Amino acid sequence: MIASLRNACLVLALFGAPAAAEPEAPVPPDLAEAGEDLSPAEWRRLVAGRTVWYRIGEAVWGRERYASGADRVVFQFPDGECVEGGWVYLDPWYCFEFEAGEGLGGPHCFRHLRHEGELWALGMAGEPQRVERIDDTPLTCGPDVVS
């Protein structure tokens, strides 16, 4: 899987992806140019064994739990469903390939940036995602329980 992911990411890095829609505020207008890319070592220090909370505008986009000691993640959508996958780094892109889930396609490639004290995931397509927080919250996958 990692070899095919690395090849797909290399193609995207070389040839690009479709242009993203115009981002909404409060995304910094100069994020792509002024943001500081986080190195893989720094990103691993921040996220190993932890959960990253992402937002697009005011809406929760999802949470992503990073494994300790391996480049593996579990991404949880707002509805509680989860997908597992792995990631590779191809400067400056972090590319993710998920193993389950209809219509996920892939790879999904992002730059992890620091800009004016905030962390962001800036994809090749789609809206920038603000990292709301990184903490030790475990993921409980599956639909929310309704009583």
CB 132 within 8 A of CB 53: yes
How much is the average pLDDT of 9-23? 37
pLDDT digits (tens, 9 = 90+) for 65-107: 999 999 999 999 999 999 999 999 999 999 999 986 555 777 8
At 101 the pLDDT is 59
* Phi, psi torsion values for 129, nearest 5 degrees: -110, 125
The angle at the Cα of 144, spanning 141 to 147, to the nearest 5 degrees, equals 145
**pTM for this entry:** 0.78
Question: How far is residue 6's CA from residue 12's CA, in Å, rounded to a whole number?
Answer: 10
Question: Under a CB-based contact definition with an 8 Å cutoff, are residues 36 and 114 in contact?
Answer: yes
